[in-house]
């Protein structure tokens, strides 16, 4: 169970949680929660252990080189205070923790979703993996049967539209990185598309109470609830329901338990990807409470209502017409009168508070923690400064069509080719031109596909492990954020979230080959959603975000503008970055030819032409970071 505050900590324990996960003031994926100071963490761990409950601490953000020493000192302190595990995302941080004794859990943000990735993590000292939320229950069963890793899965709470750890939407649009715990939730905004207008990327929350027996049979050791930004009431109710379900029989959770949960927080519920259900709920994105049906009012008095849920004095009701009309508390359930001016008509009604909430809150013990954190040890990252030689970066181009390949083949050093239907023909064209061709793997692979005997571009540690005998290139989806990352591939791509100064710091410590993306529409989201149609999304400011679907059915939402770092190629060369990545997938052949000519010649005089051809351009995070 989550606890974003002292009050929520007590609520989780009194609700029956077996373990509580907490966040410190830094390095947690919920930076806007209250979270805990060092002394409060020490008190919380002591309190949990007194209650025979485990305490896990989240350090599940990407870590910059400038932050690595502090992150290590924080985790060493957690080890000294007896925390039961630390939950991490960053692979460089994982490498730095190899000699630590504290148990390590892989965050869902690490994106582990196949048996090969789990075994890679086990080899790195991970004792438990929290699986990506996009797996179906059949895939969880299959992955579990092929791995010895202890597994945890999310079963309740907010569901990101994007695949875990792969969202750059908030980061690229507003500078608030989900990978850094500061997501601005652009998926909860209104968009227009060919499917209409609404909350096109907003998801219903997960509720998997009825799936717990099957998850247990699948070999899942622990189930996890999202909610460090939720109220103590919500934490208590959800902990109570799931602990009852895990300890009792199938009927141990009553309809009343479900009602209370859905009243405390509700923007729709679904089992989501676990049962391959529709994950989107596009009508609204806010918490509305338990649906009561329609209510018709005349002169502010209820004259008719649909639905059969009983109302009680003390219940809170919120009414919605074209927007929120207002909320009020029931005083007389037999004669409901709205205590504010309300136009006659019919409204959608929701129970936003329950008459029992006050007594439930009163039953949660008040908690005053007294803790003293051990002193932080003086530790430093093992990544040492190196002197990279300046190079003239190669041009490596991402392509998805033969026509575009033929237009640019004489202007590039390497081709990353995505469309396996035409890969043999692309390979022949590249061979004739003396250009290396690299096959791009699918973005999400619970089961590894067969791949041709070529170098491969991979997107997760499992893919890299499965094809370790090949020449492996890592895409930027691997989130290379610091120089502590191990050199496990022929080449890796630097995260597009880093600034120029942070890229320079990374290059001064990383010993492997590096690539930097210098042109293209950055992928903002990749999602397992068969229902969103290809085309584009338009936000309230008029920006259009292209939507593509690959052959595996994955939805890819791209930035509205092209990242263009033409003016910084010399800077990247001086840092010793060996390759410059140019993404021309699904772009016209004539535009692609012009882009490659300009970049190969580094022709700054054609910048205006390039910007006009692209429409909108950006430097991404190169001048600002996150």
Percent of the chain surpassing pLDDT 90: 88
3-state secondary structure of 201: coil
Q: According to the model, what pLDDT value does residue 29 have? A: 57
Residue 387 token pair? 């002197």
Count of alpha carbons within 13 Å of 356, Cβ hemisphere only?
A: 12
* pTM for the full predicted model: 0.94
Distance CA(241)–CA(245), nearest Å, equals 6
Average pLDDT over residues 472-488: 97
Closest CA to 528 of 544, 558, 552: 552
> In this structure, are residues 482 and 180 in contact, taking their beta carbons and an 8 Å threshold?
no
> In this structure, are residues 20 and 367 in contact, taking their beta carbons and an 8 Å threshold?
no
> In this structure, are residues 102 and 78 in contact, taking their beta carbons and an 8 Å threshold?
yes
Instruction: With cut-offs at 50, 70 and 90, classify the pLDDT of residue 348.
Output: very high
Closest CA to 242 of 263, 228, 257, 262: 257
Distance of CA 235 to the CA centre of its chain: 21
How would you list the strands of the sheet with 196-198, edge to edge? 196-198, 191-193, 535-538, 544-549, 555-558, 523-527
How many other C-beta atoms can be found within 10 angstroms of the C-beta atom of residue 610? 21
Q: According to the model, what pLDDT value does residue 484 have? A: 96
pLDDT for 249 beyond 70: no
Closest CA to 227 of 3, 449, 12, 531: 3
Q: According to the model, what pLDDT value does residue 27 have? A: 80
Distance CA(383)–CA(486), nearest Å, equals 10
Three-state SS letters, 249-270? CCCCCCHHHHHHHHHHCCCCEE
Reported as a single tens digit per residue, the pLDDT across 282-310 is 999 999 999 999 999 999 999 999 988 99
Q: According to the model, what pLDDT value does residue 419 have? A: 78
How many other C-beta atoms can be found within 10 angstroms of the C-beta atom of residue 605? 8
Residue 578 token pair? 């060996």
Distance CA(583)–CA(453), nearest Å, equals 23
How many other C-beta atoms can be found within 10 angstroms of the C-beta atom of residue 152? 21
End-to-end CA distance of the chain: 29
Average pLDDT over residues 266-271: 93
Closest CA to 59 of 49, 44, 45, 74: 74
Average pLDDT over residues 208-229: 92
Sole residue written with tokens 């042109």? 519
Contacting residues for 190 by C-beta, under 8 A, at least 6 apart: 197, 198, 199, 200, 539, 540
Distances (CA, A) of 279 to 109, 133, 226, 485, 552: 19, 11, 16, 34, 18
pLDDT for 228 beyond 80: no
pLDDT for 226 beyond 90: no
How many other C-beta atoms can be found within 10 angstroms of the C-beta atom of residue 210? 12
> In this structure, are residues 402 and 422 in contact, taking their beta carbons and an 8 Å threshold?
yes
The rounded radius of gyration (Å) of the Cα atoms in the chain is: 26
Reported as a single tens digit per residue, the pLDDT across 431-444 is 999 999 999 999 99
> In this structure, are residues 292 and 351 in contact, taking their beta carbons and an 8 Å threshold?
yes
What burial letters (b/e) apply to 550-577, b meaning 16+ CB within 10 Å?
beeebbbbbbbbbbbbbebbeebbebbb
Reported as a single tens digit per residue, the pLDDT across 34-54 is 689 999 999 999 999 999 999
The chain-wide mean pLDDT, for the chain, equals: 94
> In this structure, are residues 59 and 77 in contact, taking their beta carbons and an 8 Å threshold?
no
Distance CA(94)–CA(86), nearest Å, equals 11
> In this structure, are residues 68 and 484 in contact, taking their beta carbons and an 8 Å threshold?
yes
Q: According to the model, what pLDDT value does residue 174 have? A: 85
> In this structure, are residues 267 and 281 in contact, taking their beta carbons and an 8 Å threshold?
yes
pLDDT for 30 beyond 70: no
Average pLDDT over residues 451-474: 97
Residue 21 token pair? 């996960």
pLDDT for 58 beyond 60: yes
Average pLDDT over residues 363-376: 92
How many other C-beta atoms can be found within 10 angstroms of the C-beta atom of residue 398? 23
pLDDT for 385 beyond 90: no
Reported as a single tens digit per residue, the pLDDT across 200-217 is 999 999 999 999 999 999
Higher-pLDDT residue of 8 and 552 is 8
How many other C-beta atoms can be found within 10 angstroms of the C-beta atom of residue 368? 8
How many other C-beta atoms can be found within 10 angstroms of the C-beta atom of residue 394? 17
Reported as a single tens digit per residue, the pLDDT across 508-564 is 999 999 999 999 999 999 999 989 999 999 999 999 999 999 888 899 999 999 999
pLDDT for 63 beyond 90: yes
Give, for 240, the enclosing helix (H) or strand (E). helix 232-247
DSSP string, 515-578: EEEEEE--EEEEE--TTSPSEEEE-TTS-EEEEEE-TT--EEEE-SSEEE-GGGHHHHHHTT--
Instruction: With cut-offs at 50, 70 and 90, classify the pLDDT of residue 368.
Output: confident
Q: According to the model, what pLDDT value does residue 457 have? A: 98
pLDDT for 137 beyond 90: yes
Torsion angle (degrees, nearest 10) of CA 447, 150, 208, 199: -60
Average pLDDT over residues 243-249: 86
Q: According to the model, what pLDDT value does residue 28 have? A: 65
Q: According to the model, what pLDDT value does residue 31 have? A: 56
Q: According to the model, what pLDDT value does residue 606 have? A: 94
**Pairing of the two strands 345-353 and 394-399:** unpaired
> In this structure, are residues 342 and 297 in contact, taking their beta carbons and an 8 Å threshold?
yes
Give, for 429, the enclosing helix (H) or strand (E). helix 423-433
Q: What angle do CA 613, 614, 618 make, to 5 degrees?
A: 140
Distance of CA 73 to the CA centre of its chain: 26
Average pLDDT over residues 299-327: 95
DSSP string, 328-355: EE-S-TTS-B-SS---SEEEEEEEEE-T
Distances (CA, A) of 175 to 64, 84, 186, 519, 566: 16, 33, 12, 19, 22
Residue 9 token pair? 């900590």
pLDDT for 618 beyond 60: yes
pLDDT for 19 beyond 90: yes
Q: According to the model, what pLDDT value does residue 486 have? A: 93
**Pairing of the two strands 345-353 and 316-320:** antiparallel
**Pairing of the two strands 191-193 and 196-198:** antiparallel
Reported as a single tens digit per residue, the pLDDT across 487-522 is 999 999 999 999 999 999 999 999 999 999 999 999
3-state secondary structure of 438: strand
**Pairing of the two strands 205-207 and 269-270:** parallel
């Amino acid at each position: 169970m989550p606890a974003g505050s002292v009050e929520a900590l007590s609520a989780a324990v009194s609700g029956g949680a077996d373990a509580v996960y907490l966040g410190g003031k830094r390095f947690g994926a919920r930076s806007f929660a209250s979270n805990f100071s060092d002394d409060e963490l020490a008190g919380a761990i002591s309190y949990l252990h007194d209650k025979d409950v485990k305490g896990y601490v989240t350090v599940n953000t990407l870590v910059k080189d400038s932050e690595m020493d502090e992150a290590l000192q924080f985790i060493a302190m957690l080890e000294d205070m007896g925390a039961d595990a630390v939950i991490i995302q960053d692979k460089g941080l994982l490498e730095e923790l190899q000699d630590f004794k504290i148990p390590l859990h892989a965050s869902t943000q690490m994106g582990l979703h196949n048996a090969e990735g789990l075994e890679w993590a086990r080899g790195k000292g991970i004792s438990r993996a929290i699986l990506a939320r996009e797996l179906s229950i059949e895939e969880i069963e299959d992955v579990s049967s092929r791995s010895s890793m202890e597994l945890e899965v999310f079963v309740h709470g907010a569901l990101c539209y994007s695949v875990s750890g792969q969202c750059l939407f908030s980061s690229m649009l507003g500078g608030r990185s989900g990978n850094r715990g500061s997501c601005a939730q652009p998926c909860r905004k209104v968009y227009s598309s060919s499917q209409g207008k609404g909350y096109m990327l907003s998801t219903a929350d997960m509720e998997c109470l009825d799936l717990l027996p099957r998850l247990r049979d699948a070999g899942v050791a622990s189930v996890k609830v999202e909610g460090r930004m939720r109220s103590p009431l919500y934490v208590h109710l959800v902990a109570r329901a799931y602990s009852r379900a895990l300890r009792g029989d199938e009927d141990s959770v009553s309809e009343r338990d479900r009602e209370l949960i859905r009243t405390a927080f509700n923007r729709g519920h679904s089992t989501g990807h676990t049962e391959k259900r529709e994950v989107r709920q596009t009508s609204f994105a806010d918490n509305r409470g338990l649906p009561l049906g329609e209510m018709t009012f005349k002169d502010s008095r209820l004259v008719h209502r649909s639905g059969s849920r009983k109302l009680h004095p003390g219940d809170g009701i919120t009414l919605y017409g074209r927007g929120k009309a207002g909320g009020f508390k029931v005083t007389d359930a037999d004669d409901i009168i709205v205590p504010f001016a309300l136009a006659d008509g019919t409204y959608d009604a929701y129970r936003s508070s329950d008459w029992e909430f006050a007594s439930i809150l009163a039953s949660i013990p008040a908690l005053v923690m007294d803790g003293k954190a051990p002193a932080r040890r003086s530790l430093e990252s093992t990544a040492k400064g190196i002197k990279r030689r300046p190079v003239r970066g190669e041009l490596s181009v991402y392509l998805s069509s033969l026509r575009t390949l033929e237009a640019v083949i004489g202007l590039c050093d390497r081709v990353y080719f995505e469309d396996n239907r035409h890969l043999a023909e692309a390979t022949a064209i590249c061979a004739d031109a003396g250009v290396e061709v690299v096959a791009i793997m699918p973005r999400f692979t619970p089961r590894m596909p067969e791949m041709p005997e070529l170098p491969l571009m991979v997107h997760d540690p499992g893919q890299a492990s499965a094809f370790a005998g090949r020449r492996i290139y890592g895409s930027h989806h691997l989130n290379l954020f610091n120089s502590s990352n191990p050199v496990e591939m022929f080449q890796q791509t630097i995260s597009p979230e880093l600034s120029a100064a942070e890229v320079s710091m990374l290059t001064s410590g990383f010993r492997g080959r590096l690539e930097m993306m210098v042109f293209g529409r950055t992928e903002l989201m990749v999602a397992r959603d068969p229902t969103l149609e290809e085309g584009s999304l338009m936000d309230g400011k008029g920006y259009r975000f292209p939507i593509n679907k690959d052959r595996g059915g994955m939805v890819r939402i791209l930035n509205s503008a092209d990242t263009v770092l033409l003016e910084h190629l010399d800077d990247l060369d001086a840092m010793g970055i060996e390759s410059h990545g140019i993404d021309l997938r699904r772009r016209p052949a004539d535009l692609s030819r012009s882009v490659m000519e300009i970049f190969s010649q580094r022709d700054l005089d054609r910048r205006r032409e390039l910007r006009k051809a692209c429409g909108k351009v950006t430097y991404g995070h190169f001048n600002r970071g996150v």
